[in-house]
Structure formats: structure tokens, C-alpha cells
Structure 1
């Protein structure tokens, strides 16, 4: 068994030396690029996380800004609607006032027209009554003064009244 043990221990030493040589070569040529790649990947991941965080904050800011814009738009819409209602009410009120004024003018014109027509009718009636009264008086006088004596008595009566005045 001695030979097997010597061979095993020699093999172990050779394998250990080979392992140390491979470890040295890996450390010299491969370890640094691998570590650099790992470090670079870590930096990339950290940068990506930071960018994601910044993007998230920007999205939140945009969301808040959008909500503010929406609130302002709603307020502006409400103001415009309120102003439109006020304008509508003012226009309706003005139209009612104008219609009332025009109606009052028309009523006053109708009253004046009726008064003028009434005055004209009254004047016409007075003229007709005057003419009718004159015709009646003339007829009565003609009947009473058909004789010469009655005619002379009327003239004397009239003259006596004129002298008294």
C-alpha cells in the first residue's frame, strides 16, 4: 500500500500545484474582467433603478400636474357656464323690459288714438246735433213766423232785448 499512498500523495501535490497555477492564471487574466463585468452590471442595475425611481417620480409629478390642470379646467368650465347663465338671464330680462316698454308704448298709442277718434266722433256728433238743432229751430220758426205779424213781433222782441243789454 505504500506505493498507492505515495502515488496518491504525489497526485494530490500535483493536483494542488495545477489548481494553484489555474487559480493564479484565472486571477491574473479572467478574475479582473469577470469582476469588472460584475461591477459594470451592478452599476448598470443601480443606474436603471435610479432612472426607474426618477421616472416614477416624474410620472407622479405629471399625474399631479394633470389633476391640477383638470381641476382648473373644471373651474373654468363652471365659470363659463355661470357667466353664460348670467348673460342669458340678463338678455331675457332685457328682452322682457323691451317688450314691456314696447307694449306700454303701443297701449299708450292706442289710448291716444282712441281719444283722438273719440274727440273726432264727439265733434262730429256736436256738429250734427248743432246742424239738427238749427234745422229744428228753423222749422219751428218758419211755422211760428209764417204770418207777418208774428215775424214783426219777434223782431221787436229781439230789438228790445238788444237795447236792454
Structure 2
């Protein structure tokens, strides 16, 4: 066998490649395939983890939305309760103020009535005192004179008979 340079190069390259292939198959092929399979498994695991994380994020988002909704409902409930309480307090205050006003008005009317009665009693007392004083002065003046006394008695008797 007489090989020329390019043919000999192809021959030796083929033999070296075949020996290298056998060595690789015997010693390196299984570890390389194991590494590739391990890499494939780790990629599949990462994809499964990513999908699981995506689902968990969706669940957390839904839970957060539900919690937010519940918080809004509770806030609205508290605000409504506070508004109702405020309105009740205002209504109670108005009712108390009206009752107090009515009580004060009744007290004022009672005080005015008693003051009025006291003033009327005092006025009657003054009028009766004045009347008695005037009557006394008139009687003294009329009774000091004998002839006037007689006229007065006859006049009173005439008035009594007429009735």
C-alpha cells in the first residue's frame, strides 16, 4: 500500500478519529450523556418550578385581591357604623337640647306666672290700701259734718230700698 500524502492523512485521521471515538464512547460518552440528561432534568425542573411559581403568584394575587376586598368591606362597614353613630349622637343631642329648651321655657313660664301673680297681689294690696285710705279720708270729711252724715245715711238707705 502506497499512499500519497493526502490519502495517508485521511487514513491516519480516520484511524485516530475511530480510536478517539472508541475511547470517548468507553470513557466519556456516559458522563457526557449523564451531564446532558442532568441538564435536561434541571431545565425541566426549572420549568416546572417556574410554572408552580406562576400558579402560586396567581393564587397569592387572588388571595391579595380577596383580602383587599374584605378590607374594603370592613372599612365601609366601619365608616357606615361611625356615620350611624354620629347621626344618632346628633339626633340624641338635638332631642336633649329640645327637651332642655322645653323645660327651660316651662320654667320661665312658671316663673313669669308666679311673678305676675305676685305683682297682681301686690298691686291689689296697693289698690286696696289706697282705696281704704281714700275711703277713710272721704268718710272723715263727710262724717265730720252732722248734716252730711244724715244725708249720707238717707242716701244709702234709699239705695238699699231700690235694690
Same fold (TM over 0.5): yes
Deviations 1:48-95 (A, max 9, x none): 111111111111111111111111111111111111111111111111
Aligned residues between the structures:
153
Q: Are the structure 2 counterparts of residues 39 and 134 from structure 1 closer, same or farther at C-alpha, using a change threshold of 3 Å?
A: same
Report the counterpart of residue 25 of structure 1 in structure 2.
23
> Aligned runs of 1:1-165 on 2, under 5 Å?
3-4=2-3, 8=7, 12=11, 15-147=13-145, 150=149
Q: What TM-score, normalized to structure 2?
A: 0.83
Q: Distance in 2 between matches of 1:15 and 1:86?
A: 96
For the aligned residues, what is the CA RMSD? 2.6
The Cα of 1:143 is off from its aligned counterpart by 1.2
Unmatched 5+ residue regions in structure 1? none
* Structure 1 residue matching 2:52: 3-state secondary structure: helix
Q: Distance in 2 between matches of 1:125 and 1:104?
A: 31
Q: What TM-score, normalized to structure 1?
A: 0.82
